[in-house]
Amino acid sequence: MRVVVALGGNALQAEGASPTAEAQLQVVKQTAVHLADMVEKGYEVIIVHGNGPQVGRLVIQNEYCSKITPAMPFDVCGAMSQGMIGYHIQQALRDELTKRGINKPVASVITQVVVNKNDQGFKKPTKPIGPFYNEEEAKKLIKEKGYAMVEDSGRGFRRVVASPQPERIVEINTIRTLIEKGNIVITAGGGGVPVVEKEDRSLEGVAAVIDKDFAAGKLADELDADVLMILTAVDKVAVNFGKPDQRNLSSMTMAEAKRYIAEGQFAPGSMLPKVKAALKFQESKIGRKSIIASLDKALEALQGKSGTVFVG
């Protein structure tokens, strides 16, 4: 069974922990145990991960050191984060599999994802990235670099970028080949590096953030996966979240998912993209399955013992 696994932020960084490479690797080693459990049971696992805090820190490092060495553009920082996080996951997962006597190669692919330059997301950028600036600095960046800047809750001004929908994964044939040769592939990290395709079919990176859950859904569709599994910090999707009448859902029909979305049951920056991505994959072809579950119960969720499964 082919499973595309989308790892949430809790799979890479512990809440409140120091944002060091060493601390990240320790969390990733724990994540690798859960991934190895699935591999050991015979599931064909493809891994997608987020990169929110990591790419933000890379941007800050670049901006603050720009007087010493030129800052890298945002799409390049996205590629750098793919390499950094992919390195940690592939090392930790390889080591965990080796402990279990499983000889299976793990490889990361720096992945470009085509987006539409006319996507509505580019008309109103909303994703904050990088450091805070005062008003004078913000105006200078708008004038000199054309950045979109917004005031952030009285803390200063931040750059915001678009969050377009993924249309096509550029390296999909490479990914397929690696999978067919028995590799566990880590791909579309951080949602992939967003690129637009020009008239001559050449690609150009753009300053944007593709939601990793939507990218995982697109990857799962293009790989004709059996399961899209979105892993997060909670065991199940809930309605009336945080209220006395909160209800955790073991299953959700597509009709129910659409109704809950219309009711505003899911937070836009949290559960909403997960539910939308799961719903889209579920609807794309009969026989596919979408699951939202917690990282530490991933294998149980695949076995129908935990998580929220989309049905009907």
Integer CA distances (angstroms), 212 to 34, 94, 274, 287, in order: 20, 23, 9, 23
Are 223 and 179 in contact by the 8 Å Cβ rule? The answer is yes
> Distance between CA 2 and CA 31 in Å, rounded?
19
| Catalytic-labelled residue, pool 8, 10, 86, 190 | 10
Helix, strand, coil % over all residues of the chain, rounded to 5: 40, 25, 35
> Distance between CA 190 and CA 157 in Å, rounded?
24
| Catalytic-labelled residue, pool 56, 121, 189, 274 | 274
> Distance between CA 121 and CA 165 in Å, rounded?
8
| Catalytic-labelled residue, pool 8, 9, 50, 130 | 9
Which residues does 15 contact at the CB level (< 8 Å), separation at least 6? none
Phi (first) and psi of residue 209, to 5 degrees: -130, 120
> Distance between CA 17 and CA 45 in Å, rounded?
28
Of 219, 218, 208, whose CA–CA distance to 118 is shortest? Answer: 208
- DSSP annotation string for 256-281: HHHHHHHHT-S-TTTHHHHHHHHHHH
Active site residue 10: yes
Please tell me the number of Cα atoms within 13 Å of 160 on its side-chain side: 17
Radius of gyration of the chain (CA): 19
> Distance between CA 266 and CA 273 in Å, rounded?
9
Active site residue 127: yes
| Catalytic-labelled residue, pool 56, 62, 86, 212 | 212
Q: Which residues are catalytic?
A: 9-10, 127, 212, 274
